[in-house]
A and B are shown apart, each in its own frame.
Chain A
Amino acid sequence: MDIKAYIILSLTLFTIGIIGVLVRRNAIIIFMCIELMLNAVNLLLVAFSKMHAASEAAKASPSFASDAQIFVFFIMVVAAAEVSVGLAIIVMLYRNTHSVDVNFLNRLKN
């Protein structure tokens, strides 16, 4: 498949993520949108990796083709850890403000 399709899909997902972060006020939704952006980038990484595996340079080094595939798993693991931290923060947020609206997170202002 043409690499362009992957790029477009990835950009679309990323843009959806950004817009979601920008327009929504619910912390959980914002969080999901961040994950969406992260995975859009992940997708792009895998796609480029596949594209490069077919190139001449990859044939000289056997590990070159699979490096990014493994790297993506690491990112997902780290993301999972980050999600657990993020969700914990949201739980604490809810306990303190009885809401998950990020606009209430302005107590440090002034």
Chain B
Amino acid sequence: MSNVLQIAWLIPILPLVGFIINGSGRNVLSKGVSGFIGSSVVLASFLLSLYVFIQVKNGNTHVAHYFNFINIETLRIAFDFKIDQLSSLFLLIITGVGFLIHVYSTSYMHDEPAKDFAKYFAYLNLFVFSMLLLVMGANYVIMFIGWEGVGLCSYLLIGYWFKNNNYTDAAKKAFIMNRIGDLGFLLAVFWLISKLGTVSFDEVFAAESLKKLTTTDITGITLLLFLGATGKSAQIPLYTWLPDAMAGPTPVSALIHAATMVTAGIYMIARSNILYTMAPVTLAVIAITGIATAVLAASIAIYQNDIKKVLAYSTVSQLGYMFVGLGVGAYTGAVFHVMTHAFFKALLFLGAGSVIHAMGGEQDMRNMGGLKKHMKITHLTFLLGCLAIAGMPPFSGFFSKDEILAAAYANNPVLWGVGVFTAIMTAFYMFRLYGMTFLGKFRGTHEQEHHLHESPAAITMPLVILAILAVIGGLVGIPEVFMHGGHRLETFLEPVFAQSKAITEKHTLSHATEYMLMAVSVGGALVALLFAWNRYSKYSKTESEPAGFAKLLANKWYVDELYNAIIVSPLKSLAGFFNNIIEKKVIDGVVNGTGKAVNYGSRQLRYLQSGQVGAYVLLMVIGMLVLFIIQLFL
């Protein structure tokens, strides 16, 4: 019981230590040493997380109190870690997938100079540390520290190749978009403090605290928190940073998209589930935002040619699914999808990284093709990942997606319909990607073809492990219709969502309906899959440029352009106004004007110095007279 408390603090501290060692020793550490330190601290965290997870599974949940972070008369914010079912599950995902990404990075980033290599691992460790802090924090403030930490690290890692201006722009975009969301989070925290005087999860979610909140309070707080989640988890309207986050090295994309960062929003809402359950308006907003994001991002992904861009939009789309799950009250489903998504998305990104590595940095799928025979392990694992994300049974994506879709159907069949449509698009674009990359004939240059090779073990091992997880990961949540008591994840997470469950009416679908729903979504996805497989295995470069509606999709609905026009450009012209008018004219005018006035005045006063003795004497006498007059008459 107590030893969980004793070791829990080590889980986030270890990556922090790794960050400090790699960060401060980046000039002296060799690549091997910094890679080893970076990976081993995360591995150690993973093992500790595993231990904690087993303890939690046996029913030991705790709030570990370390010290008071803020302690003033009316407000006490403790530096506490909450170790329960939800956080221990996330700990496993973060450290487990994080560790595989670290191992992968040691090989993928091997061409970097030793100094940058150590810096990269320092950032990765800091990223993991922030994310661990986020999920372990037992109150909103500690969570917010981690929340800001991942924002910062994403900025640092996306802008890792900071000599390229486009990359630093992408990093800034990610940071600023996140900041907009963070403002919502912060306001929600202030609102909670002003109403309840506490931010600790246990105290806020206690029944007597919830009674103190009016419906307006709860709706306001949850909407503001959701704004924070849209920023971190890339939902409409703040999703555009995530596809641009591709600027970072590929393992970073995997880390941001799979294990950390984007799941923060889901985690936060799942953690605050009782607040959300009490705010039906917010839930509706979440479900609509989620489904809109899912369908929008999926439609964009269909016409992208950059392998990482397709995956990026698919992440946005899958995150949309998770929000649909949250919005319809299927918290377990959302968390389940976070988990399975972490497996197959990390796998897909790392697989894409392996492909890019083999192609010598080429990311355009139009120049790939036929990689199947050159990269056997990458091809096989990638195929499994694609099947999982397309929701093919019995791969992991099927179970989690199906759970969300079933819950959506119970809530509102329209949500389900759009969800299935998205699932069909998902299957289509994933197999378009697969077909264009691995099937058909190689379309790159001769030089590239010569260079093609399977990646080293440090890259393929994580792929294999993730592929296994992507295949079997769904088995922890077998739906009730297949096997009674098969949804072990739901049983495990039950205490976390018990409060919400108590106040929601239970929708139960008949088994026939559930089978029908599954058949429709799987059947639709299968048709799309086969169509894409068939069409894009014969893809050749001569295909015409997209036109009409396709052009709209290829250009991402022109959302970036729209944001540029309505937000960025006005801000830039405002900045230009301040720069050119206020700064250059007004402020510089005042400063230079003072100098000029003094200059001009002295030039005029110079004429007093006539050099004529008489004039001086006259002035002196006049001066004396004036003094006399002042003295005597005034």
Contacts and interface: CB of A to CB of B under 8 A. Distances in A.
Contacts of B609: 109
A18 B614 CA distance: 11
A17 to B, nearest CB: 11
B576 to A, nearest CB: 47
Contact of B612 (A18, A21, A106, A107): A106
Interface string A91-110: 00000000000110111111
Interface in A22-53: 22, 25, 30
B617 interface: yes
Interface string B518-531: 00000000000000
B619 to A, nearest CB: 11
A93 B610 CA distance: 19
Contacts of B613: 30, 102-103, 105
B572 to A, nearest CB: 53
A105 B616 CA distance: 12
Judged by DSSP, the binding face of B is helix
B502 interface: no
Interface residues of B, number: 9
B611 A102 contact: no
B618 interface: yes
B617 A21 contact: yes
A103 B621 contact: no
Interface residues of A, number: 13
Nearest to A103: B612
Nearest to B625: A18
A106 B611 CA distance: 5
A21 B613 CA distance: 10
B618 A109 contact: no
A83 B7 CA distance: 100
Contacts of B612: 103, 106
A9 B618 CA distance: 23
A36 to B, nearest CB: 14
Contacts of A105: 611, 613
A18 B611 contact: no
A109 B614 contact: no
A7 to B, nearest CB: 14
Interface string B609-634: 11111100110010000000000000
B611 A22 contact: no
A22 B614 contact: yes
A42 B536 CA distance: 118
A30 B53 CA distance: 108
A103 B621 CA distance: 18
A108 B616 CA distance: 14
Interface in B505-560: none
Interface in B577-612: 609-612
Contacts of B614: 22, 25, 102-103
Contacts of A25: 614
A109 B611 contact: yes
Nearest to B624: A18
A103 B613 CA distance: 7
A108 B618 contact: no
Nearest to A109: B611
A74 to B, nearest CB: 24
A108 B618 CA distance: 19
Contacts of A110: 611
A78 to B, nearest CB: 20
Which residue among A21, A30, A110 has the maximum number of chain B CB atoms within 10 Å of its CB? A21
A109 B617 contact: no
B366 to A, nearest CB: 79
Nearest to A25: B614
Interface string B415-453: 000000000000000000000000000000000000000
A109 B617 CA distance: 16
Contact of B621 (A18, A107, A109): A18
Contacts of B611: 105-110
A103 B611 CA distance: 8
B607 to A, nearest CB: 11
Contact of B617 (A22, A106, A107, A108): A22
A103 B615 CA distance: 10
A22 B619 CA distance: 10
A108 B609 CA distance: 10
25 contacts: A18-B621, A21-B617, A21-B621, A22-B614, A22-B617, A22-B618, A22-B621, A25-B614, A30-B613, A102-B613, A102-B614, A103-B612, A103-B613, A103-B614, A105-B611, A105-B613, A106-B610, A106-B611, A106-B612, A107-B611, A108-B611, A109-B609, A109-B610, A109-B611, A110-B611
3 closest cross-chain pairs (CB), A and B? A109-B611, A106-B611, A102-B613
Given A18-B621, A22-B614, A105-B611, 10 more contacts: A21-B621, A22-B617, A102-B613, A102-B614, A103-B613, A105-B613, A106-B612, A107-B611, A109-B611, A110-B611
